[in-house]
């Protein structure tokens, strides 16, 4: 049984085959979605990002090769592993599938256990890759690229379901003084502790990413700007009263560091529905917060 439910999309026009696959994969712990043609799959993939796609080649509205090429052209989707399944067992068919962007090719009929083994090998490789590629090396928070991908995905959900989201841009006030006073090791320690503090005080559904330097960004899903302001004010106030203790070896010296942060907020759909624009407006609000005294929150107006 999977510890974490990876999400698999099956694109298969035969309902019997599709449901047999779905039932088997759910039995061993996967979350499974079904699409019976390429159009359904494209619509699904505009809003969802599965961990792996099982793709039939013969579809009623196009072939699997063409759908695979479309997936590989989409920035958010291009790294999703794809396993072709098909009754076509010729060498030329397999070569075309791999050249179209497939990661593996299995011919029908096949044993479910063989498919499962191929899925698990690919997902394990992708887990290692994603862990390295989506995390900030210093703080362990998500990086800017991954944040942008998730924000785009969440904006699609806002447009479909109408539930708001808010982006909070956070900057450490006078961070240069920390580095100048205590050194960059302490500065790095403060960045790491800030991420830990945010993760411990935000909701589990919220996403913290390092945007650059001492600037961080938080994706607050299903929350409007007013509610986000109240949440972030509790965090700002608690952080203002917190102290980070750095143990400097080998001198056994304890360094106490206190910081404050400035925060800018922008929400979707109220302020904007374009991901880049939402970030830009949150950044503008942050700029105002920093230039009107720091250690405060400003919402985009």
Give residue for tokens 């298969």: 12
Give the active site residue among 149, 154, 214, 229.
214
Catalytic residue status for 214: yes
What Å distances lie between residue 190 and 73, 139, 172, 175, 260, CA to CA? 39, 9, 10, 9, 11
74 vs 81: CA distance, rounded Å: 13
Task: Give the three-state DSSP class for 213.
Answer: coil
For residue 31, give both structure tokens.
């979350």
Considering only CA atoms, which of 115, 6, 130 is closest in space to residue 54?
115
Q: Is 240 strand, coil or helix?
A: helix
DSSP codes, 132-181: HHSB-TTT-SB-HHHHHHHHHHHHHHHHHH---EEEEEEEETTHHHHHHH
The tokens for 231 are 């949440």
Catalytic annotation, residues: 214
């Amino acid at each position: 049984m999977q510890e974490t439910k990876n999400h698999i999309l099956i694109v298969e026009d035969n309902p019997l085959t599709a449901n047999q696959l779905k039932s088997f994969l759910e039995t061993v712990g996967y979350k499974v979605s079904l699409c019976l043609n390429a159009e359904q799959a494209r619509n699904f993939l505009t809003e969802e990002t599965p961990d792996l796609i099982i793709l039939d080649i013969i579809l009623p509205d196009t072939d699997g090769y063409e759908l695979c090429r479309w997936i590989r052209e989409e920035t958010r989707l291009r790294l999703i592993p794809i396993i072709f399944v098909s009754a076509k067992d010729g060498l030329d068919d397999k070569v075309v599938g791999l050249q179209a962007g497939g990661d593996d090719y299995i011919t029908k009929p096949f044993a479910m256990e063989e498919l499962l083994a191929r899925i698990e090998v690919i997902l394990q490789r992708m887990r290692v890759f994603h862990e390295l590629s989506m995390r900030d090396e210093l703080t362990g928070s998500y990086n800017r690229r991954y944040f942008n991908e998730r924000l785009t995905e969440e904006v699609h959900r806002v447009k479909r379901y109408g539930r708001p989201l808010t982006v909070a841009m956070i900057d450490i006030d006078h961070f240069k003084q920390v580095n100048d006073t205590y050194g960059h090791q302490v500065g790095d320690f403060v960045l790491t502790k800030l991420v830990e503090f945010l993760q411990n005080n935000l909701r589990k559904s919220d996403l913290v990413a390092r945007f650059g330097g001492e600037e961080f960004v938080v994706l607050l899903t299903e929350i409007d700007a007013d509610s986000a302001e109240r949440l972030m004010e509790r965090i700002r106030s608690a952080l203002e009263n917190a102290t980070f203790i750095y143990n400097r070896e080998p001198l056994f010296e304890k360094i106490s560091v206190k910081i404050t942060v400035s925060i800018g907020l922008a929400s979707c759909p109220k302020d904007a529905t374009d991901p880049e624009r939402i970030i830009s407006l949150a950044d503008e609000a942050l700029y105002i917060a920093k230039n009107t005294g720091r250690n405060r929150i400003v919402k985009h107006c």
